[in-house]
Structure formats: structure tokens, C-alpha cells
Amino acid sequence: MLIRTGRDGFQHPQSSEITPRAVYEDRRNLLKWMATGAAGAALATWAQREALAQQVQRPGKLAQLAVVRSTVPGAVTMEKVTEYKDASTYNNFYEFGTDKSDPAKNAHTLKTNPWTVEVDGLVKKPAKYALEDLMKMGAQEERIYRLRCVEGWSMVVPWVGFSLSKLVEKVEPLGNAKYVEFLTLADKATMPFVGSRVLDWPYAEGLRMDEAMHPLTLLTFGMYGEVLPNQNGAPVRLVVPWKYGFKSAKSIVKIRFTEQMPKTAWNKAAANEYGFYSNVNPEVDHPRWSQATERRIGEDGLFAKKRKTLMFNGYEAQVGQMYAGLDLKKNF
């Protein structure tokens, strides 16, 4: 079970106050955009998320975790941290709905205790781990990672967990294990959108073995010093910071080691839009929109100037060598 503990003197970085820009800073462009008719849906979604965010409590509501600051190179960005209320109310979690505000409204039905993660496939030591035992494999480190989603939005979140490599090493993969597949919970009783035609359930994701072993790949149990909220993938998820957000599987129940590249949920749904690698790449556009820029959630409102998207989401120095010689436009 999770026990409330002190923070052992640990202080989280504080987000600076958000200072909104004038919405009508560029009136001509705004009016032109409004005239297209596209503004209505966008404004409605934004307003709904803002209203929901105001209802979310600051950290301290959920069970706290004893955390230490990570020393993994690249694991702590100095960028402004996204506010908890924004990070916990603007989410992709299609098991609870397709709108960004749906998970925060609907995920209260998810039951996270007890929880077991099964590890099988091409390993010497297959096992089933209770959540408590899984968490004991490594110290709970705080890592402040950028999160970049394929829809063009981004966040900076202080995640809590440890390198997935600790689990990989414990189960001892066989020599022919080249990939790691992640399967998530698909419970129609607690996840109202499981069974919808949006995706092939259960949600499945995968990494190449060297990606899974990279120290930045995080097996995650918390955020902002507390256990994960249901809508953010409780009780255990991945965070792979140099890839688009859908690669970071939530509410994991099975980890399987395979020789063949696993079929992933979004790749099965639309292979021309979502490749297996899904590395953040400003030079490879989604078929329906550009990936050259992004909007940071909670940063100056809906009409703020967009940021330039960074190659590998800003982690090129740490992970770029894994893809040397690989055509990243073909292998997107």
C-alpha cells in the first residue's frame, strides 16, 4: 500500500505566475481566424478545460511520495513547470473519452488497488509484480521532463519514478529479445470508452530494446511529488520524453519482451499518421498538420505565440546517437 510520508526536506520547483497576453494582440489575424468558423470548437474546448482546471486541487490532495532529485543527464529541465491544474485536466486517455477534458471528469471510476503488472515473453525470469513490489525496485526520482503531443501541445511536468532499465535488468531478457511491448488495462466496467471503435483495445505500445534501456525512459508512479492522478495514467505508466506522448503507455498491466516489432494501437489505427518510432521531429509533419511548432499548455492562453518544436523534444544530445544512420523521415 502507499503510505503518506514526509518530503524529506525536498522542495519542488515553483511555477511562476502565469501572465496572460492580450487576446486581441493581433486583431487582424484573430478576426481572420474567427471568420473561418474554426474558432468556435477550439474556444469551447479551451473554455471547458479552463473551467475544469479551476476545480482541481493543488498538490497535497493525493498520497505523497518520498522523492529524490534525479542525477540522470538531461533528466531535469530548467524550464517553467506547467501548473498541476493544467497538467491534470488536459489529457489524452481515450479509455475515458476523446476530448482533452474527458479523462479528468471520467477517470474517477478507475480502480488502482490492488494492481499487478505481469512481465513475460523472452525473459529468463517472468513474473507478476504487485504495484508495491514494483515500486521498491528503485528510488523514486523526480525528473522534470517536457511532454510533447502529436496534436501540437506541450507541457513541462515533474514526474516521479525510476529508469525502466531497472525492471528490464531484473527479468533478464533473452538474447533474441529486441522489443518491449506494453499493454494497458482495458476494463469496460471502469473505463467507459473501452469498446469504442476509436482504437483496437487493449491499448498497446512498444519500444526498441535500446530505447527501453535508455536511462531517460521512465517507469512512472507519480507527478508533482504525489501518486499519479487516475487521468494521468495511474497507478503506473511510461514516460518517454523524446517521443510523442501517445508512446508513453498509461495504466500498464503487462510488459512483454518480443523478437518482432509489436503492433501498436495508433499504428494499427492509422499507419500513415503514427509510425512505430514516433520521435518528436519538426521536419516530419502529421498528414493533417505541421509539427514545426507547439503550444505550451497554461502559457499565456489560447492565442499565445507558438514555440518552435525541438528535435527529439530537446533531448537530441542524450538520445540522438541511437538513431544514427536511420532515415528519420522514413522511420517516423
Provide the mean pLDDT of the chain: 86
Residue 233 C-alpha cell reads as: 495514467
Given this model, what pLDDT does residue 220 score? 98
Distances (CA, A) of 182 to 120, 121, 275, 299: 11, 12, 16, 32
CB atoms inside a 10 Å sphere around CB 26:
14
- SS3 (DSSP) at 269: helix
Check whether 11 has a pLDDT greater than 50.
Answer: no
192-198: average pLDDT = 93
* In the block, residue with C-alpha cell 519538426: 282
The pLDDT value recorded for residue 299 is 82
Cis amide leading into 202 (omega within 30): yes
Greater confidence, 306 or 163? 163
pLDDT of residue 172: 98
Torsion-angle region of 87 (φ positive above 0: left; ψ -120 to 50: alpha; else: beta): alpha
- pLDDT at 212 (0 to 100): 98
pLDDT of residue 47: 54
| pLDDT reported for residue 58 | 52
**CA-to-CA distance for 249 and 240, rounded, in angstroms?**
9
Helices (H) and strands (E) in the chain, counts: 9, 13
3-state secondary structure of 332: coil
Query: How far lies 195's CA from each of 68, 96, 185, 309, in Å?
Result: 40, 11, 12, 34
More confident residue, 13 or 165: 165
Nearest of 125, 127, 91, 119 to residue 106 by alpha carbon: 91
Q: Is 183:204 a contact under the CB 8 Å cutoff?
A: yes
pTM of the model: 0.84
Distance separating alpha carbons of residues 240 and 211, to the nearest angstrom: 9
Going along the chain from its start, the domains and CATH numbers come out as 37-323 (3.90.420.10)
The 10s digit of each residue's pLDDT in 82-131 is 999 999 999 999 999 999 999 999 999 999 999 999 999 999 999 999 99
CA–CA distance, 97 with 103 (Å, rounded to integer): 6
Distance CA 244, CA 43 (A): 24
Query: Exposed/middle/buried for 176, CB within 10 Å: 0-12, 13-18, 19+?
Result: exposed
β-sheet bridge partners, residue 143: 159
Within the chain, what is the greatest distance between any pair of CA atoms?
64
**331, three cell numbers:** 522511420
Q: Read off the pLDDT of residues 196-240 as tens digits, 9 standing for 90 and up.
A: 999 999 999 999 999 999 999 999 999 999 999 999 999 999 999
Under a CB-based contact definition with an 8 Å cutoff, are residues 86 and 298 in contact? Answer: yes
Among the listed residues 39, 241, 286, 246, the one whose alpha carbon sits nearest the alpha carbon of residue 145: 241
184 with 239: CB under 8 angstroms? Answer: no
Report residue 8's pLDDT band, with 50, 70 and 90 as the boundaries. Answer: very low
Burial of 105 (C-beta count, 10 Å sphere; 0-12/13-18/19+): middle
